[in-house]
Amino acid sequence: VEPAAGAELGFGGHVIVVSEEGDDIVLTVKRVEALSDSAQTRSESTIYTLKGLLPGKRLTAWGFVALVLAAFLVWPIYTWSTWRSVDERPDEFHADTMWSSGALSSAHHGLEKDCQACHVDAFVTVKDETCMTCHEDDAHDHAAKPRLLTARGAPEGFDKIGAAFASAFNKPPGRCVECHSEHEGSGAMEPTAQKFCADCHNGMDARLTDTKLENASDFGIEHPQFRPAVLISPGGKNPVRKRVSLDDKPTDNNGLKFPHDVHLSRTGGVAQMGRRLSKEYGFGSALACKDCHTPDPNGVRFEPVDMQEDCSMCHSLAYDEIGGTIRTLRHGEPEMVQADIRAYYRSTRPTRPINLGGMKRRRPGNINEVRVASDYARAVKFRPTRANLAIRDVFSRGGACFDCHGITPPTARGRVDFGIKPVTQSDRFMHKGWFSHEPHNDEKCSTCHNAPASKDASDLLLPGIKTCRECHGGEFQKTSDVPSTCAMCHDYHADDGAPWLTKELQKDKQKKPDKQIAQQ
């Protein structure tokens, strides 16, 4: 230190200034407050801690990295390899369960102790072949894999990078797990997000140029009109059907003659008869849809209308009475109807069947006001002629069969081998989508089905997409009464199963009866 030049010496929070005054050296001590606290703190933290005895920061960081790898990588791999060949593990902690993101769904609950059932190889994603081991019978693509990939289109933008990584780690596009996400928690598997459907169906006609399907990306914004499968030729185990857009106003050739407007009218003969039979059959002031249409046990669709159960209280097929027992013609068996009539006229009983016109079984309607189902016999001289005329009367206009069914004429002149045209009652029109009546129980039937105005059985009384959109919007249309994903109505795998319930309804289903769920 050169006193003549001067100097400052710092010691903690103090500064000693060295200077020269004449022949004397002057030392001036100053305390620097701002520096003092921090300097003393740093000094004390070094003196009174174990900092000097610990490894350095770099060594400590690498040590923790090694600990994490050992605990969450090496240990789980060791556990996996140790229990790989075991079908069911014992109830104890297994290190590889730390990799699980959540509990298995209720459908796979039985596999919780058998990880290898799905995760066959380490660090290899679950393959489709593994899923198909159990789901071969109930899971199948709704199109060939090449067409599915073409409809989806090639990745663009940042998706190309993701596709490259997926390919490197053996994750080809279109895998089962892209839609079916597991380890999302207990309960039913979550419905597939709408975007997985829109990836293919939004603008699909530009990529899959030979498709007959219209584009669909969101039910409330872009979705084609419904195309129900209507009957072209009824009868048999496989009646001919054709899918037709409701915009084309299709009809359903079911083989029946039935005017809904007459039966649902609040005035006229049908309403009067309903009131007379109200105590016995529970009718109201007029007939309603529920009086003829009975829901199936699940509440999804309706049972076929049955002549004996739903029609015979008004449309009687009675033709004889023996000891107080009413004999009726056999519905649906025209050959037996003819045989019963011939047998009746071969008997020695009166030449004319009993007349039930004065009782409750009179058939309603203007044309048939004075006719009854049993009033088909005429008094003539010879029994064979009487039988033939009675048969002809049953199958002719105003007869018991003619009013509801199409009649096939006799095969030759003079014969009376009449027949009934085939009849098919459709219980489902939307074969490419799912619909359940149960959640709509609070609505009136006429809200969606304009039956009171229908004059012909061939009228297709299905609501169009505009009617459904009054309540249902797309997945992201939160202002709708029911924001609806694709999975609510469509099942990717072409079967007759209902799509998933929403997670909220899945939780409620465990606590409430089905009827309460339906009302929600």
**Residue 310 scores a pLDDT above 70:** yes
**What is the distance between the terminal CA atoms of the chain, rounded to a whole angstrom?**
91
The fraction of the chain above a pLDDT of 90, given in percent, is 32
Residue 382 tokens read as 């010879």
Which residues lie below 8 Å from residue 471, measured CB to CB, with a gap of 6+?
480, 481, 482
Q: Which carries the bigger pLDDT value, residue 129 or residue 85? A: 129
pLDDT of 39 above 70? no
Quickly state the pLDDT bin for 305 (edges 50, 70, 90).
very high
d(CA 115, CA 224): 43
Query: If you write DSSP's letter for every residue of 61-124 in order, what string do you get?
Result: HHHHHHHHHIIIIIHHHHHHHHSTT-SS--SS--GGGGG--SPPPGGGGGGTT-GGGT--STT-
CA 111 to chain centre: 26
Which pLDDT does position 420 carry in this prediction? 94
CB atoms inside a 10 Å sphere around CB 198? 19
When pLDDT is averaged across residues 212-239 and rounded to a whole number, the result is 92
Q: What is the pLDDT of residue 426?
A: 92
Residue 494: phi and psi, rounded to 5, are -75, 85
State the pLDDT confidence band at 414, using cuts at 50, 70 and 90. confident
C-alpha–C-alpha distance, residues 42 and 255, integer Å: 99
CB 293 within 8 A of CB 302: yes
Question: For residue 458, what pLDDT is reported?
Answer: 94
Query: What pTM did the predictor assign?
Result: 0.70
pLDDT digits (tens, 9 = 90+) for 242-277: 999 999 999 999 999 999 999 999 998 899 999 999
Q: What is the pLDDT of residue 364?
A: 47
Say if residues 458 and 234 touch (Cβ distance below 8 Å): no
Candidate ranges 151-160, 207-216, 493-502; pick with highest mean pLDDT: 207-216
Q: Which of 444, 394, 391, 382 is nearest to 417 (CA)?
A: 391
pLDDT band at 369 (very low <50, low <70, confident <90, very high): very low
User: How many Å apart are CA 254 and CA 260, to the nearest integer?
Assistant: 14
Q: 458 vs 193, which has greater pLDDT?
A: 458
Q: pLDDT at position 455, please?
A: 94
| Nearest of 440, 503, 490, 515 to residue 196 by alpha carbon | 490
Q: Can you give the pLDDT at residue 350? A: 47
Taking alpha carbons only, the member of 179, 228, 226, 227 closest to residue 200 is: 179
User: In sequence order, what DSSP letters do the residues of 413-437 get, joined into one string?
Assistant: TT----EE------S-S-TTS---S
pLDDT of residue 38: 55
Among residues of the chain, what percentage have pLDDT more than 70?
84
328 pLDDT exceeds 60?
A: yes
Q: Kindly tell me if the per-residue pLDDT of 80 is higher than 90.
A: no
SS3 content of the chain, % helix, strand, coil (to 5): 35, 10, 55
- Kindly state the helix (H) or strand (E) to which residue 328 belongs, with its residue range: strand 325-328
The pLDDT value given to residue 466: 95
Whether the predicted pLDDT of 373 surpasses 60: no
Residue 174 φ/ψ region, left for φ over 0, alpha for ψ in the -120 to 50 degree band, beta for the rest: left
At residue 456, the pLDDT reads 94
Spell out where 384-520 has E strands: 407-408, 419-420, 472-473, 482-483
Least confident among 185-199, 216-230, 303-317 = 185-199
Q: Give me the residue spans of the domains in the chain.
A: 7-53, 306-420
Contact 300, 438 (CB under 8 A): yes
Q: What are the phi and psi torsion angles at 457 (to 5°)?
A: -65, -20
| DSSP letter, residue 310 | I
Q: Is the pLDDT of residue 315 over 50?
A: yes
33-41: average pLDDT:
55
Q: Can you tell me the distance from the alpha carbon of 435 to that of 484, in angstroms, rounded to the nearest whole number?
A: 13
Average pLDDT over residues 310-328: 86
Query: Measured in whole angstroms, how far is the alpha carbon of residue 258 from the centre of its chain?
Result: 31
What is the per-residue pLDDT for 519?
33
> For tokens 């009487």, what's the residue?
386
Q: What is the mean pLDDT of the chain?
A: 82
Phi, psi (5° rounding) for residue 434? -115, 140
Residue 442 pLDDT > 70, yes or no?
Answer: yes
Give residue 37's pLDDT band: very low, low, confident or very high (50, 70, 90).
Answer: low
| Residue 362 confidence class, pLDDT cut points 50, 70, 90 | very low
Report residue 124 as tokens.
């290899």
